[in-house]
Structure 1
Amino acid sequence: MSASHKPLALVTGASSGIGLELAKLCAQAGHDLLVAADRPLDQAKQELSAAGARVETVQADLSTEDGVKKLVEAAKGRPIEILCANAGHGLGQAFLDQDWKAVRHVIDTNVTGTLALLHEIGRQMRQAHHGRILVTGSIAGYEPGAYQAVYNGTKAFVDSFAVAMREELRDTGVTVTLLMPSATETEFFDRAGMEDTKVGQSSKDDPADVAKTGFDAMMRGDADVVHGLKNKIMTAAADVLPASVSARQHAKMAKPGSGKE
């Protein structure tokens, strides 16, 4: 990247939705941007440049080691002050009806690729004794996700991991914040093949509002944040309901064709 006196923020999953809104907030806070997605970023770059940031884009599949390496190398050794690890994929239908390659891609994107990036950038931040990390988990991690079992399982892992990593970095100058949104108005449900489900057709949160919740929590150094009062109530309920009941409730919302019932 070209020389600049501004600090650098790296945001993944930034072509649209929560990731794009997080990148905008980083730009407004005075950061240059290194943004990544597995889709073209031309439109996102225009919007982010208009916010006054220098923007470097990387189109890469972050489910792969090569994709993560390509992104890290794009920083050209420049210190990263903020990392928003937001990239993630969903997948609808019953587990046994899903294509295995699609299943593996969700796991490798949401878990393996995310951890590879956190491992690399986290080490750099720890050595510098400075940095902020925001990990996009989900309240889905609180529920056994019938008809979305792989996605919910990966988010349960990510939710737990982010809080554990935060504790390991205590007193290092590096903070880790976990953002847990619920259904948000993004391309998620279209890409997951869940448009015909009740949750796919339901009213959803504004990605700009979700991003602001997460960004502000990260800047405060909070451990975790659930966006929205309704979602906070849902997570509290999930903590006390039997897992079998939560799974049955989730099935009613995520079962293919449930949006037509």
Structure 2
Amino acid sequence: MSAAEISRPLALVTGASTGIGRELARLCAAEGMDLLIAADEPAVEEAATELRRSGVRVDAVETDLSTTEGVDALLARLDGRPVDCLFANAGRALGKGFLDQEFDAARHVLDTNLTGTLYLIHRVGGDMRRRGEGRILITGSIAGFVPGAFMAVYNGTKAFLNSFAFALRNELKDTGVTVSCLMPGATDTEVFARGDMLDTPMGQAPKDDPADVARVGFEALMQGKGDAVSGWKNKVASALANVTPAAVLAEQNRKLAEPGHG
């Protein structure tokens, strides 16, 4: 590794093969950061090829981010190099009623969104705290403010991540490490197809551009802001969710996420 490469900051981005994660990686490359990107599909190599055209070093790892072993495989690729910016973005969604889902599929959402994500943050965040510097962006969601009928597991994981991000931010104040939480609304990514949600009103409705969402999160991370809600409609929705009864929110989500509309 050259002296120039060592002097460049390093960003680690999970879920970087498509969607918000890929856009976050593009923003990092445009800022001159080297990249370690990861996803659980071969498309992460295609993303790496594109990102290398920016002139930065890009390492790609195809690994199962729902397991501690998969996260360990990712971290091994650091080879001792410190992470300056961590984008904990990998996530899975799952539609249909909870009792109609295969439990293994529901558990995969839990393990990807929570277990793997928290393990990664624990490992990288611990190193950042020891060094006294670092930035972490956790991709939560405005879905975390809503009891998600027909998206119950997914929304529950995002409620956890939203809460966790702000708790960790408080724990790390005055350490030199900042934690930001990106809370997008429905975004035009592959998450709806992968979550078997294309036959829902939400799956068929217009969605936010992942490039716009990523920029909001990236700017929040760079500025050390605590939260980043992308788009004025999502800001209004998140504010209303705080004053709307949970039963009403659940019924509203049912109308958006109940399958059989395609």
Fold conserved between structures, TM > 0.5? yes
CA distance in 2, matches of 1:51, 1:194: 35
SS of corresponding position for 1:80: coil
Aligned residues: 258
Q: Is the 8 A contact 1:142 1:235 kept in 2?
A: yes
Percent identity for Structure 1 against Structure 2:
58
Q: Deviations over 1:73-121 (max 9, x none)?
A: 1100101000000000000000000000001000000011100000000
CA deviation digits over 1:212-247, x for unaligned, max 9? Answer: 000001111000010000001001111111000000
- 1:145-204: CA deviation from partner (whole Å, max 9, x where unpaired): 000000000000000000100000000000000000011011000000000100000000
| Structure 2: segments with no counterpart, 5+ residues | none
* TM-score between the two structures when normalised by the length of structure 1: 0.98
**Cα distance in 2 between the residues matched to 1:234 and 1:202:** 16
Structure 1 residue 22 and structure 2 residue 21: aligned?
Answer: no
Shift of residue 72 of structure 1?
0.8
SS at match of 2:84: strand
Q: Provide the C-alpha distance between the structure 2 equivalents of 1:16 and 1:245, rounded to a whole number of angstroms.
A: 33
- In structure 1, C-alpha distance between the alignment counterparts of 2:55 and 2:96, rounded to whole Å: 42
How far apart, in 2, do the equivalents of 1:149 and 1:124 lie?
34
Moved more, 41-50 or 162-171: 41-50
Measured after TM superposition, the shift of residue 42 of structure 1 is 2.1
- 1:77: which partner in 2? 80
> 3-state DSSP class of the match of 1:233?
helix
TM-score, with structure 2 as normaliser? 0.97
Letter of the structure 2 residue corresponding to residue 193 of structure 1: D
Equivalent residue letter for 2:220 = A
Letter of the 2:51 partner, please give it: L
Residue 89 of structure 1 aligns to which amino acid in structure 2? Answer: R
Distance, in Å, in 1 between the alignment partners of 2:228 and 2:35 is: 24
Match 2:191 to one of 179, 188, 193: 188
Question: How well do the aligned residues superpose, as a CA RMSD in angstroms?
Answer: 0.7
CA contact (8 A) 1:28 1:52 kept: no
After TM superposition, give the deviation of residue 6 of structure 1 in Å: 1.1
Distance in 1 (CA, whole Å) between partners of 2:9 and 2:249 is 43
> Which residue does the alignment assign to 1:7?
9
Q: Quick check: 1:58 aligned with 2:61?
A: yes
In 1: Cα distance, 2:65 partner to 2:45 partner? 18
Native 8 Å contact 1:93 1:148 kept in 2: yes
Q: Which residue among 123, 133, 150 is the counterpart of 2:126?
A: 123
User: Alignment partner for residue 176 of structure 1, among 176, 179, 187?
Assistant: 179
The answer to whether 1:34 aligns with 2:25 is no
Question: Which residue of structure 2 lines up, in the alignment, with residue 233 of structure 1?
Answer: 236
Deviation, structure 1 residue 61: 0.6
Deviation at 1:30, TM superposition (A): 1.2
**Matched residue type, 1:107:** L
